[in-house]
Amino acid sequence: NLGCPTKKITRNSEGGALLLEPALCSEIFRTVVKAVSCPVTVKLRKGWDERSVTAHEIASRAEDAGIAAVTVHGRTVKQGYSGQADWKIIREIKNNLSIPVIGNGDINTPGRALEALDYSGCDGVMIGRAARGNPWIFAAASALLLGRPLPPPPTANEIVAAVLRHFKLLAELKGETTAAREMRRHSAWYIRGLPGAALARQKLIRLTTYRELESVLLAFADSLKDHGNNN
């Protein structure tokens, strides 16, 4: 992962900071490819900043080192998630490589996924932040790409069921205490935009157990009956 812009990562010369060292990237690529039997992929950004755009070079080095596929996010590390992703550079990299290229950045709707694929010629697109609280975006994007009717948006009951399942799976992995802490923001993402979400979030930020989450969400879903979104 050469794309992480988080300061606690980059200050250790990791993540996006590696984009400043193309030769070291090549060494890392070759070492990892040699050490494992599975395909190795690389995710990178446009560059460190607009004065250091190294994505073309590092993507080519990745291919030369035996990397199986490259994902390119169209922002620099310094941009973080501000501004707009540069899909022109993603298209250029796709045209220059023979290995699969996956485009990333601002894919926030199913329609945008299709537009990005058409424009860039990429082998796929990666959906990131838009999937937070909306795992249904993948089915919708898939339907659009296959020329099928878009599935209806999830009902309140379906959203509640998804959040509760999310908690259970996370608790199996990390334990209930950690899961509860992490689900505070995830559950808020699931219900954003719905009537009464702000009030429910005030309760969710104090979440400590699965039962508390279940109680808040069931009450929230019940409150939506008057809005016709509880089937």
Domain extent for 222: 156-227
Rounded Cα–Cα distance for residues 28 and 97 (Å): 19
141 lies in the same domain as 160: no
Range 171-191 average pLDDT: 95
Inside any domain, residue 100:
yes
127 and 170 fall within a common domain: no
- Looking at 4, 25, 38, 122, which residue is catalytic? 4
* Cβ atoms of residues 82 and 90 within 8 Å: no
Q: How many domains does the chain have?
A: 2
Q: What phi and psi, each to the nearest 5 degrees, are found at residue 14? A: -115, 175
Mean pLDDT for 53-74 is: 98
The answer to the question of residue 2 being in a domain is no
In a shared domain, residues 76 and 172: no
Do 83 and 140 share a structural domain?
yes
- Residue 15: inside a domain, yes or no? yes
Q: What percent of the chain has pLDDT over 70?
A: 97
Say if CB 58 and CB 89 are below 8 A apart: no
Residues 189 and 118 in one domain: no
Cα gap 56→67, rounded to integer Å: 14
In this structure, is residue 195 part of a structural domain?
A: yes
Residue 74 clears pLDDT 60, i.e. is over it: yes
Residues 92 and 171 in one domain: no
Domain boundary among 110, 145, 180: 145
For residue range 171-180, list pLDDT tens digits in order: 999 999 999 9
Q: pLDDT value at position 227?
A: 57
Q: How far apart are CA 231 and CA 221, in angstroms?
A: 10
Domain boundary among the residues 145, 165, 196 is at 145
* 204 in the same domain as 141: no
Give the pLDDT mean for 35-43: 98
Tell me what pLDDT residue 223 has.
87
Helix pair 110-120, 87-96: axis angle to 10 deg: 50
pLDDT-wise least confident of 27-36, 37-46, 133-142, 217-226: 217-226
Residue 84: CATH number of its domain = 3.20.20.70
Q: State yes or no: pLDDT of 32 exceeds 70.
A: yes
Confidence band, pLDDT 50/70/90 cuts, at residue 159: very high
Average pLDDT over the chain reads 94
Q: Is there a single domain that holds both residue 35 and residue 125?
A: yes
The verdict on 27 and 103 lying in the same domain is yes
Q: Is the pLDDT of residue 228 over 70?
A: no
Active site residue 4: yes
pLDDT bin (cut points 50, 70, 90) of residue 205 is very high
Identify the domain boundary among 98, 121, 145: 145
pLDDT for the residue 76:
97
Domain annotation covers residue 62: yes
What pLDDT, on a 0 to 100 scale, did the predictor assign at position 77? 96
Assess whether 114 and 22 both reside in one domain: yes
Query: Do 55 and 111 reside in the same domain of the chain?
Result: yes
Read off the pLDDT band of 164 (50, 70, 90). Answer: very high
Q: What is the pLDDT of residues 99-135, one digit of tens each?
A: 999 999 999 999 999 999 999 999 999 999 999 999 9
The whole-model pTM stands at 0.87
Please check whether residue 1 lies inside any domain of the structure: no
Judge whether 104 lies within some domain.
yes
Q: Using the predicted structure, report yes or no on whether residue 18 has a pLDDT greater than 80.
A: yes
Same domain, residue pair 141 and 161:
no
| Statement: residue 225 has pLDDT above 80 | no
